[in-house]
Structure 1
Protein backbone atom coordinates (compact mmCIF):
# COMPACT_ATOMS: atom_id res chain seq x y z
CA UNK A 1 0.00 0.00 0.00
CA UNK A 2 1.40 3.40 -1.01
CA UNK A 3 1.84 6.27 1.40
CA UNK A 4 -0.90 8.15 -0.44
CA UNK A 5 -3.42 5.35 0.09
CA UNK A 6 -2.41 5.01 3.75
CA UNK A 7 -2.87 8.74 4.32
CA UNK A 8 -6.32 8.66 2.69
CA UNK A 9 -7.29 5.73 4.91
CA UNK A 10 -6.25 7.54 8.08
CA UNK A 11 -8.14 10.67 7.02
CA UNK A 12 -11.23 8.62 6.22
CA UNK A 13 -11.19 6.85 9.58
CA UNK A 14 -10.75 10.16 11.39
CA UNK A 15 -13.64 11.80 9.59
CA UNK A 16 -15.88 8.78 10.17
CA UNK A 17 -15.12 8.83 13.91
CA UNK A 18 -15.75 12.57 14.11
CA UNK A 19 -19.05 12.18 12.27
CA UNK A 20 -20.10 9.36 14.60
CA UNK A 21 -19.33 11.45 17.69
CA UNK A 22 -21.26 14.42 16.33
CA UNK A 23 -24.29 12.24 15.64
CA UNK A 24 -24.13 10.24 18.88
CA UNK A 25 -26.89 12.37 20.40
CA UNK A 26 -29.28 11.14 17.73
CA UNK A 27 -29.27 7.68 19.26
CA UNK A 28 -30.67 8.95 22.54
CA UNK A 29 -32.85 11.90 21.51
CA UNK A 30 -36.25 11.29 19.98
CA UNK A 31 -36.29 12.81 16.48
CA UNK A 32 -38.40 15.84 15.72
CA UNK A 33 -40.86 15.88 12.88
CA UNK A 34 -42.68 13.02 11.21
CA UNK A 35 -42.24 10.53 8.41
CA UNK A 36 -43.01 13.25 5.89
CA UNK A 37 -40.50 15.81 7.17
CA UNK A 38 -37.68 13.43 8.19
CA UNK A 39 -34.48 13.48 6.16
CA UNK A 40 -32.37 10.47 5.13
CA UNK A 41 -29.65 9.44 7.53
CA UNK A 42 -26.11 10.65 6.85
CA UNK A 43 -24.41 8.26 9.25
CA UNK A 44 -22.18 6.86 6.52
CA UNK A 45 -21.55 10.03 4.55
CA UNK A 46 -18.09 10.52 6.05
CA UNK A 47 -16.96 7.14 4.77
CA UNK A 48 -17.13 8.42 1.19
CA UNK A 49 -13.55 9.65 1.47
CA UNK A 50 -12.49 6.02 1.76
CA UNK A 51 -13.66 5.41 -1.81
CA UNK A 52 -11.95 8.27 -3.56
CA UNK A 53 -10.86 11.79 -2.68
CA UNK A 54 -13.03 13.15 -5.50
CA UNK A 55 -15.93 10.67 -5.40
CA UNK A 56 -18.88 11.03 -3.02
CA UNK A 57 -21.10 8.29 -1.62
CA UNK A 58 -24.17 9.61 -3.40
CA UNK A 59 -22.47 9.16 -6.76
CA UNK A 60 -21.89 5.48 -5.96
CA UNK A 61 -25.54 4.75 -5.13
CA UNK A 62 -27.32 2.81 -7.90
CA UNK A 63 -30.43 5.02 -7.83
CA UNK A 64 -31.21 3.97 -11.39
CA UNK A 65 -32.08 0.52 -10.07
CA UNK A 66 -35.01 1.94 -8.11
CA UNK A 67 -33.68 1.31 -4.60
CA UNK A 68 -31.02 2.59 -2.26
CA UNK A 69 -29.00 -0.18 -0.57
CA UNK A 70 -27.64 2.28 1.98
CA UNK A 71 -31.16 2.76 3.39
CA UNK A 72 -30.76 -0.64 5.03
CA UNK A 73 -28.09 0.89 7.26
CA UNK A 74 -30.26 3.80 8.46
CA UNK A 75 -30.09 3.19 12.23
CA UNK A 76 -33.10 5.42 12.85
CA UNK A 77 -35.45 2.84 11.36
CA UNK A 78 -34.27 0.37 13.98
CA UNK A 79 -34.28 2.77 16.93
CA UNK A 80 -37.40 4.77 16.01
CA UNK A 81 -39.46 2.54 13.70
CA UNK A 82 -42.64 4.32 14.84
CA UNK A 83 -41.28 7.50 13.21
CA UNK A 84 -39.18 6.40 10.24
CA UNK A 85 -40.85 3.13 9.22
CA UNK A 86 -44.12 3.75 7.39
CA UNK A 87 -45.77 0.43 8.30
CA UNK A 88 -44.82 0.68 11.98
CA UNK A 89 -45.98 4.30 12.11
CA UNK A 90 -49.39 3.33 10.77
CA UNK A 91 -49.73 0.50 13.28
CA UNK A 92 -48.70 2.69 16.22
CA UNK A 93 -51.10 5.45 15.21
CA UNK A 94 -53.98 3.01 14.74
CA UNK A 95 -53.54 0.82 17.81
CA UNK A 96 -52.91 2.72 21.03
CA UNK A 97 -54.16 -0.16 23.20
CA UNK A 98 -55.06 -3.80 22.81
CA UNK A 99 -58.44 -3.07 24.35
CA UNK A 100 -59.01 -6.17 26.47
CA UNK A 101 -57.24 -8.14 29.17
CA UNK A 102 -55.26 -11.00 27.67
CA UNK A 103 -55.32 -13.22 30.76
CA UNK A 104 -57.48 -12.48 33.82
CA UNK A 105 -55.53 -13.19 36.95
CA UNK A 106 -57.05 -15.33 39.70
CA UNK A 107 -55.45 -15.07 43.18
CA UNK A 108 -53.77 -18.26 44.43
CA UNK A 109 -55.74 -20.77 46.46
CA UNK A 110 -54.53 -23.24 49.09
CA UNK A 111 -53.35 -26.64 47.95
CA UNK A 112 -56.04 -29.27 48.40
CA UNK A 113 -54.29 -32.43 47.21
CA UNK A 114 -52.09 -34.35 49.63
CA UNK A 115 -49.37 -34.34 46.98
CA UNK A 116 -48.65 -30.76 45.82
CA UNK A 117 -47.08 -32.08 42.62
CA UNK A 118 -50.48 -33.46 41.60
CA UNK A 119 -52.50 -30.44 42.66
CA UNK A 120 -53.92 -28.31 39.77
CA UNK A 121 -53.05 -25.24 41.81
CA UNK A 122 -49.36 -25.92 41.19
CA UNK A 123 -49.91 -25.83 37.44
CA UNK A 124 -51.69 -22.50 37.69
CA UNK A 125 -48.98 -20.94 39.85
CA UNK A 126 -46.33 -22.26 37.48
CA UNK A 127 -48.21 -20.69 34.56
CA UNK A 128 -48.23 -17.26 36.20
CA UNK A 129 -44.54 -17.60 37.04
CA UNK A 130 -43.73 -18.30 33.39
CA UNK A 131 -45.91 -15.39 32.28
CA UNK A 132 -44.07 -13.01 34.61
CA UNK A 133 -40.70 -14.29 33.43
CA UNK A 134 -41.52 -13.81 29.75
CA UNK A 135 -43.11 -10.36 30.23
CA UNK A 136 -40.05 -9.22 32.20
CA UNK A 137 -37.74 -10.52 29.48
CA UNK A 138 -39.65 -8.59 26.78
CA UNK A 139 -39.72 -5.38 28.82
CA UNK A 140 -36.01 -5.43 29.62
CA UNK A 141 -35.04 -6.37 26.08
CA UNK A 142 -37.41 -4.03 24.22
CA UNK A 143 -37.77 -0.91 26.41
CA UNK A 144 -35.03 1.60 27.03
CA UNK A 145 -34.65 2.35 30.72
CA UNK A 146 -37.24 -0.15 31.92
CA UNK A 147 -37.07 -0.95 35.63
CA UNK A 148 -39.47 -2.65 37.98
CA UNK A 149 -39.25 0.07 40.70
CA UNK A 150 -40.22 2.77 38.17
CA UNK A 151 -43.19 0.69 37.04
CA UNK A 152 -44.29 0.19 40.64
CA UNK A 153 -44.02 3.93 41.29
CA UNK A 154 -46.10 4.62 38.18
CA UNK A 155 -48.76 2.15 39.34
CA UNK A 156 -48.93 3.80 42.78
CA UNK A 157 -49.32 7.26 41.23
CA UNK A 158 -52.09 5.95 38.97
CA UNK A 159 -53.81 4.24 41.91
CA UNK A 160 -54.00 7.45 43.94
CA UNK A 161 -54.97 9.62 40.96
CA UNK A 162 -57.81 7.36 39.82
CA UNK A 163 -59.32 7.22 43.32
CA UNK A 164 -59.01 10.99 43.63
CA UNK A 165 -60.73 11.43 40.27
CA UNK A 166 -63.60 9.18 41.37
CA UNK A 167 -63.98 11.06 44.65
CA UNK A 168 -63.91 14.56 43.17
CA UNK A 169 -65.54 13.77 39.83
CA UNK A 170 -62.65 15.52 38.05
CA UNK A 171 -61.28 13.13 35.44
CA UNK A 172 -58.26 15.34 34.80
CA UNK A 173 -56.54 13.55 37.69
CA UNK A 174 -56.98 10.15 36.02
CA UNK A 175 -56.53 11.07 32.37
CA UNK A 176 -52.71 10.66 32.20
CA UNK A 177 -52.90 7.21 33.80
CA UNK A 178 -55.79 5.40 32.07
CA UNK A 179 -56.76 4.27 28.59
CA UNK A 180 -59.55 5.99 26.68
CA UNK A 181 -62.05 3.19 27.38
CA UNK A 182 -61.24 3.22 31.09
CA UNK A 183 -61.70 7.00 31.19
CA UNK A 184 -65.17 6.62 29.73
CA UNK A 185 -66.03 3.97 32.31
CA UNK A 186 -64.82 6.15 35.16
CA UNK A 187 -66.98 8.99 33.88
CA UNK A 188 -69.92 6.59 33.84
CA UNK A 189 -69.31 5.59 37.45
CA UNK A 190 -69.31 9.22 38.55
CA UNK A 191 -72.53 9.96 36.69
CA UNK A 192 -74.26 6.93 38.24
CA UNK A 193 -73.76 8.19 41.79
CA UNK A 194 -77.09 9.93 41.42
CA UNK A 195 -78.07 11.85 44.53
CA UNK A 196 -74.68 11.51 46.13
CA UNK A 197 -73.33 15.05 46.22
CA UNK A 198 -70.04 14.51 47.98
CA UNK A 199 -67.50 11.73 48.42
CA UNK A 200 -64.76 11.86 51.01
CA UNK A 201 -61.81 9.63 50.27
CA UNK A 202 -58.33 9.44 51.67
CA UNK A 203 -55.61 6.87 51.89
CA UNK A 204 -55.01 6.19 55.57
CA UNK A 205 -51.91 4.11 54.87
CA UNK A 206 -50.18 4.60 51.56
CA UNK A 207 -48.39 1.48 50.34
CA UNK A 208 -44.73 1.53 49.58
CA UNK A 209 -44.08 1.01 45.84
CA UNK A 210 -42.16 -2.14 46.78
CA UNK A 211 -45.37 -3.54 48.33
CA UNK A 212 -47.01 -3.53 44.91
CA UNK A 213 -46.57 -7.01 43.48
CA UNK A 214 -46.58 -7.77 39.77
CA UNK A 215 -48.44 -11.07 39.97
CA UNK A 216 -48.92 -11.77 36.27
CA UNK A 217 -47.67 -10.53 32.93
CA UNK A 218 -48.73 -11.05 29.33
CA UNK A 219 -47.46 -10.13 25.88
CA UNK A 220 -49.64 -10.04 22.77
CA UNK A 221 -49.19 -8.96 19.16
CA UNK A 222 -51.25 -6.13 17.69
CA UNK A 223 -54.62 -7.13 16.16
CA UNK A 224 -53.17 -7.23 12.64
CA UNK A 225 -50.28 -9.43 13.86
CA UNK A 226 -47.84 -7.45 11.75
CA UNK A 227 -44.66 -5.56 12.48
CA UNK A 228 -42.95 -5.05 15.82
CA UNK A 229 -45.87 -3.49 17.72
CA UNK A 230 -46.84 -5.59 20.76
CA UNK A 231 -48.67 -4.90 24.00
CA UNK A 232 -47.41 -5.84 27.45
CA UNK A 233 -49.91 -6.17 30.30
CA UNK A 234 -49.01 -6.39 33.98
CA UNK A 235 -51.50 -7.35 36.69
CA UNK A 236 -50.56 -5.56 39.92
CA UNK A 237 -51.65 -6.47 43.43
CA UNK A 238 -52.07 -3.19 45.34
CA UNK A 239 -52.69 -3.30 49.14
CA UNK A 240 -53.77 -0.17 51.03
CA UNK A 241 -55.82 1.20 53.92
CA UNK A 242 -58.52 3.66 52.89
CA UNK A 243 -61.28 5.79 54.41
CA UNK A 244 -64.39 6.32 52.28
CA UNK A 245 -67.62 8.16 53.08
CA UNK A 246 -70.44 9.06 50.67
CA UNK A 247 -72.94 11.83 51.50
CA UNK A 248 -76.08 13.05 49.79
CA UNK A 249 -76.93 16.67 48.98
CA UNK A 250 -78.21 17.24 52.54
CA UNK A 251 -75.05 15.89 54.13
CA UNK A 252 -76.54 12.57 55.24
CA UNK A 253 -74.15 9.62 55.23
CA UNK A 254 -75.11 7.13 52.54
CA UNK A 255 -72.22 4.67 52.58
CA UNK A 256 -68.90 4.14 54.27
CA UNK A 257 -67.62 5.57 57.53
CA UNK A 258 -65.39 8.66 57.88
CA UNK A 259 -63.83 7.18 61.02
CA UNK A 260 -63.24 3.62 59.86
CA UNK A 261 -60.19 2.42 57.97
CA UNK A 262 -60.71 -0.33 55.45
CA UNK A 263 -58.07 -2.81 54.34
CA UNK A 264 -58.27 -2.95 50.56
CA UNK A 265 -56.49 -5.20 48.08
CA UNK A 266 -57.02 -4.34 44.42
CA UNK A 267 -55.88 -6.12 41.29
CA UNK A 268 -55.38 -3.67 38.45
CA UNK A 269 -54.13 -4.41 34.94
CA UNK A 270 -51.72 -1.94 33.33
CA UNK A 271 -50.80 -1.96 29.67
CA UNK A 272 -48.14 -0.40 27.45
CA UNK A 273 -47.43 -0.70 23.73
CA UNK A 274 -43.86 -1.74 22.94
CA UNK A 275 -41.84 -2.23 19.79
CA UNK A 276 -40.55 -5.73 20.30
CA UNK A 277 -36.79 -5.98 19.77
CA UNK A 278 -34.45 -8.87 19.13
CA UNK A 279 -31.27 -7.33 20.54
CA UNK A 280 -31.26 -3.58 21.21
CA UNK A 281 -34.07 -1.97 23.25
CA UNK A 282 -36.05 0.94 21.83
CA UNK A 283 -37.78 3.98 23.32
CA UNK A 284 -41.11 2.60 22.17
CA UNK A 285 -44.02 4.36 20.40
CA UNK A 286 -44.23 8.11 20.92
CA UNK A 287 -46.31 9.03 23.96
CA UNK A 288 -46.53 5.43 25.19
CA UNK A 289 -46.67 4.82 28.93
CA UNK A 290 -48.14 2.38 31.41
CA UNK A 291 -51.89 3.02 31.68
CA UNK A 292 -54.73 1.39 33.58
CA UNK A 293 -56.64 -1.01 31.34
CA UNK A 294 -58.88 -2.90 33.78
CA UNK A 295 -59.77 -3.25 37.47
CA UNK A 296 -60.29 -6.93 38.20
CA UNK A 297 -62.96 -8.14 40.58
CA UNK A 298 -61.08 -10.75 42.61
Structure 2
Protein backbone atom coordinates (compact mmCIF):
# COMPACT_ATOMS: atom_id res chain seq x y z
CA UNK A 1 0.00 0.00 0.00
CA UNK A 2 2.81 2.41 0.76
CA UNK A 3 4.24 1.99 -2.77
CA UNK A 4 0.81 2.57 -4.28
CA UNK A 5 0.32 5.69 -2.22
CA UNK A 6 3.74 6.93 -3.27
CA UNK A 7 2.98 6.37 -6.96
CA UNK A 8 -0.38 8.14 -6.68
CA UNK A 9 1.30 11.02 -4.90
CA UNK A 10 3.88 11.39 -7.66
CA UNK A 11 1.15 11.37 -10.30
CA UNK A 12 -0.82 13.98 -8.36
CA UNK A 13 2.20 16.25 -8.02
CA UNK A 14 2.88 15.91 -11.75
CA UNK A 15 -0.66 16.91 -12.66
CA UNK A 16 -0.53 19.85 -10.29
CA UNK A 17 2.76 21.10 -11.77
CA UNK A 18 1.40 20.72 -15.30
CA UNK A 19 -1.66 22.83 -14.49
CA UNK A 20 0.52 25.40 -12.76
CA UNK A 21 2.82 25.74 -15.77
CA UNK A 22 -0.18 26.12 -18.08
CA UNK A 23 -1.50 28.98 -15.99
CA UNK A 24 1.97 30.47 -15.71
CA UNK A 25 1.96 30.95 -19.46
CA UNK A 26 -0.70 33.60 -18.99
CA UNK A 27 0.94 35.06 -15.89
CA UNK A 28 4.22 35.70 -17.68
CA UNK A 29 2.62 37.45 -20.65
CA UNK A 30 3.81 40.83 -19.37
CA UNK A 31 4.33 43.73 -21.79
CA UNK A 32 7.44 43.60 -23.91
CA UNK A 33 10.59 45.29 -22.68
CA UNK A 34 12.38 45.53 -19.36
CA UNK A 35 12.02 47.95 -16.47
CA UNK A 36 14.66 50.19 -18.02
CA UNK A 37 14.25 49.79 -21.77
CA UNK A 38 10.44 49.81 -22.00
CA UNK A 39 9.25 52.63 -24.24
CA UNK A 40 6.01 54.09 -22.90
CA UNK A 41 3.31 55.37 -25.18
CA UNK A 42 2.76 59.11 -25.07
CA UNK A 43 -0.90 58.71 -25.92
CA UNK A 44 -3.32 59.36 -23.08
CA UNK A 45 -5.93 57.19 -24.82
CA UNK A 46 -3.50 54.28 -24.74
CA UNK A 47 -3.11 54.74 -21.01
CA UNK A 48 -6.85 54.68 -20.47
CA UNK A 49 -7.31 51.55 -22.64
CA UNK A 50 -4.42 49.66 -21.03
CA UNK A 51 -6.54 47.21 -19.08
CA UNK A 52 -8.65 46.32 -22.13
CA UNK A 53 -5.55 45.76 -24.26
CA UNK A 54 -3.98 43.48 -21.67
CA UNK A 55 -7.18 41.44 -21.28
CA UNK A 56 -7.40 40.91 -25.07
CA UNK A 57 -3.73 39.89 -25.19
CA UNK A 58 -4.21 37.05 -22.68
CA UNK A 59 -4.33 33.53 -24.15
CA UNK A 60 -7.80 32.09 -24.55
CA UNK A 61 -6.98 28.98 -22.47
CA UNK A 62 -5.66 31.00 -19.50
CA UNK A 63 -7.67 30.42 -16.35
CA UNK A 64 -7.23 31.29 -12.73
CA UNK A 65 -5.65 34.27 -11.01
CA UNK A 66 -3.64 36.72 -13.13
CA UNK A 67 -1.21 38.68 -10.91
CA UNK A 68 -0.25 41.07 -13.75
CA UNK A 69 -3.79 42.45 -13.68
CA UNK A 70 -2.89 43.95 -10.30
CA UNK A 71 0.75 44.82 -10.98
CA UNK A 72 1.78 46.44 -14.23
CA UNK A 73 5.38 47.58 -14.13
CA UNK A 74 4.67 50.18 -16.83
CA UNK A 75 2.19 51.91 -14.54
CA UNK A 76 4.73 51.64 -11.71
CA UNK A 77 7.64 53.15 -13.67
CA UNK A 78 5.64 55.46 -15.99
CA UNK A 79 2.57 56.51 -13.97
CA UNK A 80 2.41 59.79 -15.89
CA UNK A 81 1.60 57.79 -19.04
CA UNK A 82 -0.14 54.58 -17.96
CA UNK A 83 -2.00 55.79 -14.87
CA UNK A 84 -4.98 57.91 -16.05
CA UNK A 85 -5.13 59.97 -12.84
CA UNK A 86 -1.41 60.78 -12.83
CA UNK A 87 -1.47 61.44 -16.58
CA UNK A 88 -4.28 63.96 -16.12
CA UNK A 89 -2.33 65.78 -13.39
CA UNK A 90 0.92 65.83 -15.38
CA UNK A 91 -0.84 67.15 -18.48
CA UNK A 92 -2.63 69.86 -16.52
CA UNK A 93 0.19 71.11 -14.28
CA UNK A 94 3.55 71.73 -15.93
CA UNK A 95 4.84 74.10 -13.22
CA UNK A 96 3.94 75.18 -9.71
CA UNK A 97 3.99 78.78 -10.84
CA UNK A 98 5.58 80.51 -7.84
CA UNK A 99 8.69 80.26 -5.70
CA UNK A 100 8.00 78.33 -2.52
CA UNK A 101 10.96 79.61 -0.50
CA UNK A 102 12.42 83.06 -1.13
CA UNK A 103 16.12 82.69 -0.45
CA UNK A 104 17.95 85.38 1.53
CA UNK A 105 21.77 85.41 1.16
CA UNK A 106 23.68 84.85 4.42
CA UNK A 107 24.74 87.80 6.51
CA UNK A 108 27.56 88.11 9.05
CA UNK A 109 26.78 87.09 12.60
CA UNK A 110 25.85 90.13 14.65
CA UNK A 111 25.42 88.60 18.10
CA UNK A 112 28.37 87.88 20.35
CA UNK A 113 26.96 84.36 20.86
CA UNK A 114 26.38 82.65 17.49
CA UNK A 115 23.95 80.20 19.11
CA UNK A 116 21.62 83.10 19.88
CA UNK A 117 21.97 84.83 16.53
CA UNK A 118 18.94 84.59 14.17
CA UNK A 119 21.38 84.13 11.30
CA UNK A 120 22.25 80.69 12.64
CA UNK A 121 18.59 79.64 12.48
CA UNK A 122 18.32 80.88 8.90
CA UNK A 123 21.44 79.00 7.78
CA UNK A 124 20.27 75.86 9.55
CA UNK A 125 16.90 76.13 7.81
CA UNK A 126 18.48 76.33 4.37
CA UNK A 127 20.78 73.42 5.21
CA UNK A 128 17.78 71.27 6.13
CA UNK A 129 15.99 72.35 2.94
CA UNK A 130 18.99 71.33 0.82
CA UNK A 131 19.31 67.99 2.61
CA UNK A 132 15.65 67.07 2.18
CA UNK A 133 15.45 68.24 -1.44
CA UNK A 134 18.57 66.25 -2.36
CA UNK A 135 17.08 63.17 -0.70
CA UNK A 136 13.84 63.51 -2.68
CA UNK A 137 15.71 64.05 -5.97
CA UNK A 138 17.96 61.01 -5.56
CA UNK A 139 15.05 58.86 -4.43
CA UNK A 140 12.51 59.97 -7.06
CA UNK A 141 14.45 61.02 -10.19
CA UNK A 142 15.97 58.33 -12.37
CA UNK A 143 19.67 59.17 -12.95
CA UNK A 144 19.65 62.40 -10.94
CA UNK A 145 23.09 63.98 -10.65
CA UNK A 146 24.08 67.23 -8.99
CA UNK A 147 26.79 67.83 -11.60
CA UNK A 148 24.27 67.38 -14.43
CA UNK A 149 21.97 69.89 -12.76
CA UNK A 150 24.81 72.40 -12.39
CA UNK A 151 25.70 71.98 -16.07
CA UNK A 152 22.06 72.52 -17.04
CA UNK A 153 21.89 75.67 -14.92
CA UNK A 154 25.07 77.09 -16.47
CA UNK A 155 23.77 76.46 -20.00
CA UNK A 156 20.44 78.06 -19.13
CA UNK A 157 22.18 81.06 -17.55
CA UNK A 158 24.16 81.82 -20.70
CA UNK A 159 21.23 81.16 -23.02
CA UNK A 160 18.78 83.39 -21.12
CA UNK A 161 21.25 86.27 -20.95
CA UNK A 162 21.96 85.86 -24.66
CA UNK A 163 18.22 85.98 -25.35
CA UNK A 164 17.83 89.19 -23.33
CA UNK A 165 20.79 90.83 -25.08
CA UNK A 166 19.76 89.87 -28.61
CA UNK A 167 16.00 90.01 -28.12
CA UNK A 168 15.62 86.52 -29.61
CA UNK A 169 13.65 84.37 -27.18
CA UNK A 170 14.52 81.21 -29.08
CA UNK A 171 17.74 81.07 -27.07
CA UNK A 172 15.82 80.97 -23.78
CA UNK A 173 12.75 78.96 -24.73
CA UNK A 174 14.15 75.46 -23.94
CA UNK A 175 15.36 76.54 -20.49
CA UNK A 176 12.51 78.58 -18.99
CA UNK A 177 8.92 78.00 -17.94
CA UNK A 178 6.05 79.50 -19.92
CA UNK A 179 5.44 82.23 -17.35
CA UNK A 180 9.13 83.13 -17.29
CA UNK A 181 9.23 83.28 -21.08
CA UNK A 182 6.40 85.82 -21.05
CA UNK A 183 8.24 87.93 -18.48
CA UNK A 184 11.45 87.90 -20.51
CA UNK A 185 9.53 88.86 -23.64
CA UNK A 186 7.98 91.74 -21.73
CA UNK A 187 11.40 92.98 -20.62
CA UNK A 188 12.62 93.05 -24.19
CA UNK A 189 9.45 94.82 -25.36
CA UNK A 190 9.70 97.51 -22.71
CA UNK A 191 13.32 98.11 -23.65
CA UNK A 192 12.28 98.94 -27.17
CA UNK A 193 13.43 97.53 -30.47
CA UNK A 194 15.69 100.47 -31.17
CA UNK A 195 17.87 99.84 -28.12
CA UNK A 196 20.95 97.66 -28.51
CA UNK A 197 22.47 95.64 -25.69
CA UNK A 198 26.06 94.45 -25.63
CA UNK A 199 26.58 91.59 -23.19
CA UNK A 200 29.35 89.08 -22.74
CA UNK A 201 30.85 86.94 -20.01
CA UNK A 202 34.48 87.79 -19.37
CA UNK A 203 35.06 85.05 -16.80
CA UNK A 204 32.69 82.13 -17.29
CA UNK A 205 31.98 80.04 -14.18
CA UNK A 206 32.48 76.30 -14.15
CA UNK A 207 29.57 74.00 -13.29
CA UNK A 208 31.11 73.26 -9.90
CA UNK A 209 31.16 77.00 -9.14
CA UNK A 210 27.35 77.05 -9.13
CA UNK A 211 26.06 76.55 -5.61
CA UNK A 212 22.65 75.06 -4.81
CA UNK A 213 21.92 77.24 -1.80
CA UNK A 214 18.32 76.25 -1.08
CA UNK A 215 15.75 73.70 -2.16
CA UNK A 216 12.05 73.00 -1.81
CA UNK A 217 9.55 70.25 -2.63
CA UNK A 218 5.88 71.07 -3.09
CA UNK A 219 2.86 69.06 -4.22
CA UNK A 220 0.66 69.98 -7.17
CA UNK A 221 -2.14 72.52 -6.55
CA UNK A 222 -4.81 69.81 -6.25
CA UNK A 223 -2.83 68.04 -3.49
CA UNK A 224 -3.59 64.71 -5.17
CA UNK A 225 -1.50 61.92 -6.63
CA UNK A 226 2.29 61.74 -6.68
CA UNK A 227 2.99 64.75 -8.88
CA UNK A 228 5.33 67.14 -7.04
CA UNK A 229 7.60 70.02 -8.01
CA UNK A 230 11.22 70.41 -6.95
CA UNK A 231 12.74 73.89 -6.81
CA UNK A 232 16.45 74.66 -6.47
CA UNK A 233 17.82 78.14 -5.83
CA UNK A 234 21.21 78.44 -7.55
CA UNK A 235 23.92 80.99 -6.84
CA UNK A 236 25.67 81.83 -10.14
CA UNK A 237 28.82 84.01 -9.94
CA UNK A 238 30.39 85.52 -13.04
CA UNK A 239 32.33 88.49 -14.43
CA UNK A 240 30.41 90.33 -17.15
CA UNK A 241 30.43 93.36 -19.41
CA UNK A 242 27.10 95.07 -20.08
CA UNK A 243 26.41 98.15 -22.18
CA UNK A 244 23.07 99.50 -23.45
CA UNK A 245 22.83 101.89 -26.43
CA UNK A 246 19.89 103.85 -27.79
CA UNK A 247 18.80 104.09 -31.44
CA UNK A 248 21.46 106.73 -32.16
CA UNK A 249 24.23 104.63 -30.69
CA UNK A 250 24.60 106.65 -27.50
CA UNK A 251 25.54 104.79 -24.35
CA UNK A 252 22.64 105.00 -21.88
CA UNK A 253 23.58 102.31 -19.34
CA UNK A 254 26.57 100.21 -18.41
CA UNK A 255 30.13 100.50 -19.67
CA UNK A 256 31.70 98.41 -22.49
CA UNK A 257 35.12 98.80 -20.87
CA UNK A 258 34.18 97.98 -17.30
CA UNK A 259 34.04 94.44 -15.96
CA UNK A 260 31.47 93.72 -13.28
CA UNK A 261 31.44 90.97 -10.68
CA UNK A 262 27.88 89.67 -10.79
CA UNK A 263 26.17 87.18 -8.48
CA UNK A 264 22.70 86.03 -9.53
CA UNK A 265 20.23 83.87 -7.63
CA UNK A 266 18.01 81.94 -10.01
CA UNK A 267 15.30 79.43 -9.11
CA UNK A 268 14.99 76.30 -11.26
CA UNK A 269 12.05 73.94 -11.14
CA UNK A 270 11.21 70.45 -12.36
CA UNK A 271 8.06 68.30 -11.98
CA UNK A 272 8.68 64.84 -10.54
CA UNK A 273 6.70 61.73 -9.69
CA UNK A 274 7.56 61.43 -6.02
CA UNK A 275 8.56 57.89 -5.08
CA UNK A 276 9.09 56.01 -1.86
CA UNK A 277 11.93 53.80 -3.05
CA UNK A 278 12.31 53.33 -6.81
CA UNK A 279 13.19 56.46 -8.88
CA UNK A 280 11.22 57.23 -12.03
CA UNK A 281 12.20 58.97 -15.28
CA UNK A 282 8.98 60.94 -15.69
CA UNK A 283 7.03 63.03 -16.23
CA UNK A 284 7.57 62.78 -19.96
CA UNK A 285 9.49 65.75 -21.36
CA UNK A 286 10.20 67.27 -17.94
CA UNK A 287 13.48 69.09 -17.35
CA UNK A 288 14.98 71.75 -15.12
CA UNK A 289 13.70 75.17 -16.19
CA UNK A 290 14.13 78.69 -14.92
CA UNK A 291 11.17 79.73 -12.78
CA UNK A 292 12.30 83.06 -11.35
CA UNK A 293 15.26 85.41 -10.88
CA UNK A 294 15.49 86.61 -7.30
CA UNK A 295 16.22 90.23 -6.48
CA UNK A 296 18.70 90.20 -3.60
TM-score range, shorter chain: 0.7 to 0.9
What does 1:167-246 correspond to in 2, within 5 Å? 167-194=165-192, 196-246=194-244
Residues 35 and 85 in structure 1, CA contact (< 8 A), matched pair in contact too:
no
What does 1:130-141 correspond to in 2, within 5 Å? 130-141=128-139
CA distances 1:18-54 after superposition (whole Å, capped 9, x unpaired): 977x944453344124232254486xx99x9xxxxx9
Show the counterpart of 2:253: 255
CA distances 1:222-247 after superposition (whole Å, capped 9, x unpaired): 11100000000000000001111111
Residues 205 and 242 in structure 1, CA contact (< 8 A), matched pair in contact too:
yes
Residue 272 (structure 1) aligned with residue 274 (structure 2) = no
Three-state SS of the structure 2 residue aligned to 1:37 is helix
Counterpart pick for 1:89 among 70, 87, 90: 87
Show the counterpart of 1:162: 160
TM-score by length of 2: 0.86
Cα distance in 1 for partners of 2:149, 2:224 equals 27
Could you tell me which runs of 5 or more consecutive residues in structure 1 were left unpaired when the two chains were aligned.
49-53, 62-67
Cα distance in 1 for partners of 2:23, 2:206 equals 52
Mean CA deviation greater in 208-217 or 252-261? 252-261
TM-score by length of 1: 0.86
Tell me by how many angstroms 1:180 deviates.
0.6
- Let me know the Cα RMSD of the aligned residues: 2.8
Cα distance in 2 for partners of 1:13, 1:114 equals 75
Could you tell me which runs of 5 or more consecutive residues in structure 2 were left unpaired when the two chains were aligned.
1-9
Show the counterpart of 2:40: 31
Cα distance in 2 for partners of 1:13, 1:153 equals 51
Counterpart pick for 1:60 among 56, 61, 64: 64
Larger radius of gyration: 2
Show the counterpart of 1:285: 283
User: What count of residue pairs does the alignment treat as equivalent?
Assistant: 282
Residues 46 and 82 in structure 2, CA contact (< 8 A), matched pair in contact too:
no
Cα distance in 2 for partners of 1:133, 1:10 equals 49
Tell me by how many angstroms 1:265 deviates.
0.1
Cα distance in 2 for partners of 1:82, 1:17 equals 25
